[in-house]
């Protein structure tokens, strides 16, 4: 269920941040400003895509996760592991070794996230047929894209398929399977091994759901380091674990670019990397592109293989997953026990309507919003339109909006400052103080020791 505020897994350390503006420059939703020499996050705009995390030169931006020790609070500790986790390891490391190492690090059960892919695929095809008026249908797989649509393309929110992604289907399945074995639900902890920040945010504050079936989240790089260390130092004190189920070719490739779109009938396109996604959605919104049936949109380059929490090169991960495919059994090989729960899962596979949350809305009150919009337009006409970022906002339009919202002062524009210095409306000292309020004292040589 949509809450008033998004949970954000991306955090900024004020102690480490140097206010360099790298993050502000790359943010695709203009969610970052620089104030007093520190980057700050506008939470209503952030979609947890991780672009700022990749751009930060001093690692001041980090991705929050649950304490790994939290798994010990549960007797039955389930690791929900996506296919890209296995794709990070060198070719000489077997899936059996990875399974063994995961269990040796404290988990009691392992479920591969893509187990329910074929079940979902049938529903995707059925949904597309039964809702022709909502074309292009947008996949609900990537939570960063879901939030992007909500805040930047609110008119397209109704195009998102109201179906659970594989992660939620598998979480529902594993809980049901264990409780049917007589296990107390309170003793079950389900932990997702995430490749990105957006999926943490989606679990902590679900969109289209009242609550998540997942107990906690472990960053993929954290478990990768633990598993790889175990594999390198293991002296066969643990018996090898052989997976009971095998993913199909379709499931192995589901998280890669074209993993979904290649299986959906009609004109289906796959677009990865969030700036590419934005450019394409702008064309859709402006009716420059039409006659599209299905869109597989992923925020990361190479889709989940490019998740910011992976430890291996995204192209190598994608290559390994595709090389796994011929080794997988036929298309029904991964169904096994999950097929016994098909009716149970299908009754719960739909999600609630996803509401738009436009970041362009200047006020909830329409009259006040119009007044602020007029003020923003007036301010923009006074600005140089250089998008230099010296004001601490990513561009002149964002700065004009910040002024209209009362979060900035037009005199913070360095061009206007210099003009007013020439006319005597501002003294050089006053101009300097305004710059310090944006970039902090340490950026100016007179304050350096």
Query: What are the chain's domains?
Result: 10-63 (3.30.70.20), 68-346 (no CATH), 366-447 (no CATH)
**What pLDDT is stored for residue 236 in this prediction?**
64
Residue 32 · residue 389 · CB < 8 Å: no
- Global pTM value: 0.90
* pLDDT at residue 242 is higher than 70: no
Report the share of the chain in percent with pLDDT over 70.
Answer: 92
Instruction: Report how far residue 197's alpha carbon sits from residue 200's, in angstroms, rounded to the nearest whole number.
Output: 5
Beta-strand pair 32-35/76-81: unpaired
User: How confident is the model over 253-281, as pLDDT tens digits?
Assistant: 999 999 999 999 999 999 999 999 999 99
User: Tell me, what's the pLDDT at 238?
Assistant: 63
Q: pLDDT tens digits, residue range 141-175? A: 999 999 999 999 999 999 999 999 999 999 999 99
What's the angle, vertex CA 378, arms to CA 377 and CA 383, rounded to 5? Answer: 95
Specify the pLDDT at position 334: 41
| 3-state SS class at 96 | helix
Distances in Å between the Cα of 190 and the Cα atoms of 37, 48, 371, 395 are 40, 22, 48, 42
Model confidence at 443, pLDDT cuts 50, 70, 90, reads confident
Q: Cα–Cα distance between 345 and 160 in angstroms, integer?
A: 20
Q: Residue 190: which residues within 8 A CB-CB, separation 6 or more?
A: 78, 80, 171, 174, 175, 213, 214, 215, 216
Residue 331 — pLDDT band, cuts 50, 70, 90?
Answer: very low
Return the pLDDT at 123. 95
Higher pLDDT, 234 or 106: 106
Three-state SS annotation for 211-252: CCCCCEEEEHHHHHHHHHHHHHHCCCCCCCCCCCCCCCHHHH
Residue 335 has pLDDT above 70, yes or no: no
Q: Which of 137, 197, 123 is nearest to 166 (CA)?
A: 123
Residue 325 confidence (pLDDT) above 70: no
For residue 81, give the nearest of 69, 89, 73 by alpha carbon: 89
Q: Could you tell me the pLDDT band of residue 330, with boundaries at 50, 70 and 90?
A: very low
- Higher pLDDT among residues 155 and 446, named by residue: 155
Between 332 and 73, the more confident residue is 73
| 130 CB-near residues (< 8 Å, 6+ apart) | none
269-283, 319-333, 355-369: range with lowest mean pLDDT: 319-333
Query: Which pLDDT does position 245 carry in this prediction?
Result: 62
Give the mean pLDDT of the chain. 90
Question: What is the pLDDT at residue 333?
Answer: 42
At 241, the pLDDT band (50, 70, 90 cuts) reads: low
Q: Band of the pLDDT at 339, cuts 50, 70, 90?
A: confident
3-state DSSP assignment of residue 33 = strand
pLDDT, mean of residues 295-317: 96
**What element of type H or E holds 84?**
helix 83-87
Instruction: Mean pLDDT check: name the lowest of 28-37, 222-231, 246-255.
Output: 246-255
pLDDT at 119 over 50: yes
User: Given a cut of 60, is residue 2 above it in pLDDT?
Assistant: no
pLDDT in the model for residue 1: 43
SS3 89: coil
**What are the pLDDT digits (tens) for 38-50?**
999 998 899 999 9
């Amino acid at each position: 269920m949509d809450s008033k505020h998004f949970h954000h897994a991306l955090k900024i350390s004020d102690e480490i941040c140097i206010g360099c503006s790298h993050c502000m420059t790359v943010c695709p939703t203009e969610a970052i400003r620089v104030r007093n020499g520190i980057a700050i996050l506008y939470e209503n705009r952030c979609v947890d895509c991780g672009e700022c995390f990749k751009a930060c030169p001093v690692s001041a931006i980090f991705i929050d996760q649950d304490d790994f020790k939290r798994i010990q609070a549960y007797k039955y500790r389930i690791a929900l592991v996506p296919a890209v986790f296995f794709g990070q390891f060198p070719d000489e490391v077997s899936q059996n070794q990875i399974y063994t190492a995961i269990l040796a690090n404290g988990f009691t059960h392992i479920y591969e996230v893509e187990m329910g892919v074929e079940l979902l695929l049938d529903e995707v095809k059925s949904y597309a047929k039964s809702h022709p008026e909502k074309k292009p249908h947008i996949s609900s797989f990537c939570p960063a894209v879901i939030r992007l649509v909500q805040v930047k393309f609110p008119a397209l929110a109704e195009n998102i398929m109201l179906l659970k992604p594989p992660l939620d289907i598998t979480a529902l399945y594993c809980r049901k399977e264990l409780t049917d074995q007589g296990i107390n639900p309170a003793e079950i902890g389900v932990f997702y091994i995430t490749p990105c920040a957006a999926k943490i945010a989606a679990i902590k504050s679900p969109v289209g759901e009242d609550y998540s079936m997942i107990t906690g989240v472990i960053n993929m790089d954290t478990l990768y380091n633990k598993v790889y260390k175990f594999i390198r130092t293991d002296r066969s004190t643990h018996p090898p674990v052989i997976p009971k189920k095998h993913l199909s070719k379709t499931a192995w490739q589901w998280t890669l670019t074209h993993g979904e779109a290649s299986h959906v009938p009609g004109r289906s396109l796959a677009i990865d990397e969030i700036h590419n996604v934005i450019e394409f959605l702008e064309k859709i919104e402006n009716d420059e592109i039409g006659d599209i049936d299905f869109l597989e949109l992923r925020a990361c380059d190479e889709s989940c293989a490019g998740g910011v929490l992976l430890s291996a090169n995204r192209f190598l991960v994608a290559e390994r997953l595709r090389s796994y495919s011929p080794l997988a059994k036929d298309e029904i090989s991964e169904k096994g026990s999950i097929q016994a729960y098909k009716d149970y899962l299908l009754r719960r596979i739909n999600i609630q309507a996803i509401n738009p949350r436009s970041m362009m809305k200047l006020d909830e009150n329409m009259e006040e919003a119009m007044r602020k919009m007029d003020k923003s337009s007036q301010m923009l006409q006074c600005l140089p339109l250089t998008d230099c970022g010296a004001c601490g906002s990513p561009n002149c339009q964002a700065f004009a909006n910040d002024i209209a919202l009362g979060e900035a002062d037009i005199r913070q524009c360095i061009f206007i400052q210099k003009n007013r210095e020439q006319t005597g409306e501002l003294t050089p000292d006053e101009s300097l103080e305004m710059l310090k309020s944006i970039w902090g004292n340490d950026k100016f040589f007179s304050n350096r020791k």
